[in-house]
Amino acid sequence: MPLISVALARIRSTRMLSCAIPLAVACATAGVLGGARPAEAATQRERLEAPVKAVADQRVAVDTPQGSAVLPVYADHPLDRPAPDVTRVFIVIHGTLRNADAYYASGLKVVEKAGAAGKGTMVVAPQFLTRADTRAFSLPAQTLAWTQEGWKGGEPARQPGPISSFAGLDALLAHFADRSLYPALSTVVVIGHSAGAQLLQRYAVAGHGGDALARVGLAVRYVVANPSSYLYFDDERPDGQVLAGGACPSATEWKYGLKSAPPYVASQDVGDLETRYVARNVVYLLGQADTNPYTHFIDRSCAAMAQGPYRLARGLAYFDYLKKRHPADLAQQVVEVPGIGHDNLGMFTSACGLAVLFDQALPQSCPVVAGTAPVVRAAGQ
């Protein structure tokens, strides 16, 4: 049975589908905003291109062979001072509107709701800006800025040099490897929802930041929540008809596949990328009600539609794909969140979300799809 059929069958067995559409019809509509009516598409485009309402007030230096720059960051501790009380760091990645302020506030609410479990948790939210943002706030020339879509897939920045957004995350994670600043730190949890989860899932495949943390004995967990799409390692897709006859060549190109990947990714061995990825501590947190195929800027390009009709189906199908490719060594899991749709705060403050973020036992109300390997973690995985 095709993977998408397996995923959809599982969904139908647990809930009624409110928005089921034929993939062939959906795939005829190309483009991230292609499913919206013209007036709605124009409004969405305006929202995407409008400058952000706020810019983070702290900075992390990003030094690479492609140049030096700074990445804006929100944090509830000064980044240049020791924080001996911090035992856990949450790095929360914003969505497509680049509204790091809102996601930072969500992270603080998560810690507050966790009560005693949240003690010692530092909340950090990096901000991946566009040039429209830097112009609107007259930011210094060394401030990193990407295209609206480029930051989500590790593409080179447009200013001040061709620095990947993955390199920005590398620098941020490396900051927390400094034991003179964080002597009690034991765990870093990188959290992404929606477009932030798109960035994070690709980064969990190709990123180097976890290596720096592993060298000083820190554990890293990646929580990927409700992204529009995933990075596949070959040309197989849940809806193979989309790829038939070369109808959608973009379906196997970056950021959906590894063809034409940006330099940060292309410089690495493809086999090594997959081997490292499936061993990493990745949890796919999926809202059971995230089944609307049109809302919240969902990617409706043919490349995305080849992965499934909506976010929940795409996540379940992707995990089935990984299990098929790794029948014995997939050290990851899916956790579904009942009753929650495309809502970052709802996802992360739910009982299921809190258990995942704070590495606690999951309530019985949280459906889990286990990987194929025993979950035994080494530092940094």
Distance of alpha carbon 121 from alpha carbon 127, whole angstroms: 20
Report yes or no on 380 lying in a domain: no
Distance of alpha carbon 255 from alpha carbon 179, whole angstroms: 35
Report yes or no on 376 lying in a domain: no
Distance of alpha carbon 292 from alpha carbon 225, whole angstroms: 15
| Residue-level pLDDT at 377 | 44
- Point out the residues of the chain with pLDDT beneath 70: 1-42, 375-381
| Residue-level pLDDT at 1 | 42
Nearest Cα to Cα of residue 330 among 270, 284, 361, 267: 284
Give the 3-state secondary structure of residue 10: helix
Q: What is the largest CA-CA distance in the chain?
A: 59
Model confidence, pTM: 0.89
Report yes or no on 299 lying in a domain: yes
Task: Find the domain containing 77 and state its range.
Answer: 3-370
| Residue the block writes with tokens 């943002």 | 133
Number of structural domains the chain divides into: 1
| Residue-level pLDDT at 378 | 41
| Residue-level pLDDT at 321 | 98
Report yes or no on 9 lying in a domain: yes
Report yes or no on 291 lying in a domain: yes
What φ, ψ does residue 6 adopt, rounded to 5°?
A: -60, -45
Report yes or no on 96 lying in a domain: yes
| Residue the block writes with tokens 């010692």 | 120
- Specify the CATH number for the domain of residue 140: 3.40.50.1820
Distance of alpha carbon 187 from alpha carbon 121, whole angstroms: 10
| Residue-level pLDDT at 212 | 83
Element (H, E) at 74: strand 67-75
Report yes or no on 378 lying in a domain: no
Report yes or no on 375 lying in a domain: no
